[in-house]
Structure 1
């Protein structure tokens, strides 16, 4: 009876096994090699030169913030401020955003609302608060007899951070002179900070937004001191709808303050 043919891999395995049983422990090639000779040492790689300091280095951040302050102060109108901001290259967020998100609404409005930074929808349209949180904000304003044509809306950061991440302290510090000048030029009667980051940056509040909201304070526009209040950000209310009751209290307080400031003394 003829033996069954072996698979090539099985045959190779049998050959290797036979060599091992015969004491063969090294494979030879056609070129003689001295296997006792020490392998030549490779020269150590030449270290690459250190990269130049990035724009995010501390000194560069300070310089960018100082340049932003000088540029913002030079603006004599909101239109001029927008043009200067569009040409400003001191914030890296500009390179990843599609559009500058400067403001929406009436720049002469008595009420100004400031959030933190634009999201994807805002980046696409170049307007603040036009996504889901913006739609909720519209309904909140409508509940006290207002709409976005009767208020002025902006953000601390005018460019969308990639992936909607939280802006870094350096990015916020670089952009803050522009929003401060924007508030000064708009000169509203009442400033509303939407969310904790806005309240911390503009009003200096240290507490969490759920504790800081609903309390009146003052903001110095550079021309005068105006009433200011912090409330919950619409995006937070979308995640925590039960907190809308707190936002409603703030909205009623804002409506009352607008009515009082409009009444002649």
Structure 2
């Protein structure tokens, strides 16, 4: 087995990067543990104690239902309930959705909303994520760009669309005369799911108030939706991005209605470069809705 001491710094850095991309966030044990042997040992121990436990159960006096009015000492104790320790991660439920909605609606600016999201602790996704991803950019153009959820690069760098996908997004924005500074960039989900899995339905429901509040506060003129997950989220449809892309739809948030168009996510374009032609067509259609440049 290759030991860390046998690897060069460059090889060790490459290995750590590989684990990070695979979703490995921390080491559980300092030394390797033979889980199969431990399981067999536990199984043998249970089998050895089973005869004694059965004999004790047979010799134990039978319990009867307590008689009404019997003194407390003769009553059968109530069954203990499962512990709900505070150390457990928050479980998505209706209360968490209501808490997220209250936190989002209480924010009167993007800065307050950023603080609210960073302080929110009722979503399981936050327990494993390194960063909380919120809106960035000035939005001076009236354009908002919304992706699905942060990936490993985003989680590591602390902002949306990092790495190669971010560089490609920069070129896509440049093609329509925009930059990261002139648009507002955000994601539907503020936290990277473990291993880049898809967020669950409850997790998505918890995050919905935050992205909708961002739209309501910014009141963009146009929204560019990137990727299959984000398109389904906003349009309420189940088709693939190839069926949902390139069409104008109206989405609403907090009483603000805005025209939105979906196109392929930069990561999808890196995986399938042939689809860049489709994205280019979408960007041309999107740019036609932009105001013409003002002279003088």
Q: Same fold (TM over 0.5)?
A: yes
**In 2 relative to 1, CA 259–221 (structure 1 residues): closer, same or farther, beyond 3 Å?**
same
Return the alpha-carbon distance in structure 1 between the equivalents of residues 204 and 50 of structure 2.
55
Kept in 2: contact 1:104–1:154 (CA 8 A): yes
1:228 alignment partner in structure 2: 260
The answer to whether structure 1 residue 119 and structure 2 residue 151 are counterparts is: yes
Return the alpha-carbon distance in structure 2 between the equivalents of residues 161 and 228 of structure 1.
25
Return the alpha-carbon distance in structure 2 between the equivalents of residues 51 and 233 of structure 1.
43
2:239 alignment partner in structure 1: 207
- Over residues 234-258 of structure 1, what are the superposed CA-to-partner deviations in whole Å (9 max), with x where a residue is unaligned? 1111111101111001101111111
1:64 alignment partner in structure 2: 96
Which of 236, 253, 261 is the matching residue for 2:285?
253
Q: Kindly report which structure 2 residues correspond to 1:186-205, keeping only aligned pairs within 5 A, or say none.
A: 186-205=218-237
Return the alpha-carbon distance in structure 2 between the equivalents of residues 175 and 82 of structure 1.
13
**In 2 relative to 1, CA 150–56 (structure 1 residues): closer, same or farther, beyond 3 Å?**
same
**In 2 relative to 1, CA 186–221 (structure 1 residues): closer, same or farther, beyond 3 Å?**
same
The answer to whether structure 1 residue 239 and structure 2 residue 271 are counterparts is: yes
- Over residues 191-222 of structure 1, what are the superposed CA-to-partner deviations in whole Å (9 max), with x where a residue is unaligned? 11111211111222332110110010111233
1:181 alignment partner in structure 2: 213
**In 2 relative to 1, CA 144–55 (structure 1 residues): closer, same or farther, beyond 3 Å?**
same
Which of 69, 74, 89 is the matching residue for 2:106?
74
- Over residues 118-164 of structure 1, what are the superposed CA-to-partner deviations in whole Å (9 max), with x where a residue is unaligned? 11111122110012111111111112221111111000111111222
**In 2 relative to 1, CA 40–87 (structure 1 residues): closer, same or farther, beyond 3 Å?**
closer
1:164 alignment partner in structure 2: 196
Q: Give the structure with higher Rg (CA).
A: 1
Q: Which structure 2 segments of 5+ residues have no match?
A: 1-48, 58-78
User: Shift of the alpha carbon at 1:43?
Assistant: 0.3
SS in 2 for 1:153: strand
Return the alpha-carbon distance in structure 2 between the equivalents of residues 40 and 174 of structure 1.
46
Return the alpha-carbon distance in structure 2 between the equivalents of residues 183 and 248 of structure 1.
25
Q: When the two structures are superposed, what TM-score results if normalisation uses the length of structure 1?
A: 0.77
Give runs of ≥4 in structure 1 deviating > 4 Å: 44-57
- Over residues 37-71 of structure 1, what are the superposed CA-to-partner deviations in whole Å (9 max), with x where a residue is unaligned? xx9922059999745497676xx511111111111
Return the alpha-carbon distance in structure 2 between the equivalents of residues 109 and 127 of structure 1.
20
The answer to whether structure 1 residue 128 and structure 2 residue 138 are counterparts is: no
Q: Which structure 1 segments of 5+ residues have no match?
A: 1-38
**In 2 relative to 1, CA 193–41 (structure 1 residues): closer, same or farther, beyond 3 Å?**
same
1:34 alignment partner in structure 2: none
1:41 alignment partner in structure 2: 51
Kept in 1: contact 2:139–2:182 (CA 8 A): no
Return the alpha-carbon distance in structure 2 between the equivalents of residues 225 and 48 of structure 1.
52
Kept in 2: contact 1:65–1:174 (CA 8 A): yes
The answer to whether structure 1 residue 143 and structure 2 residue 153 are counterparts is: no
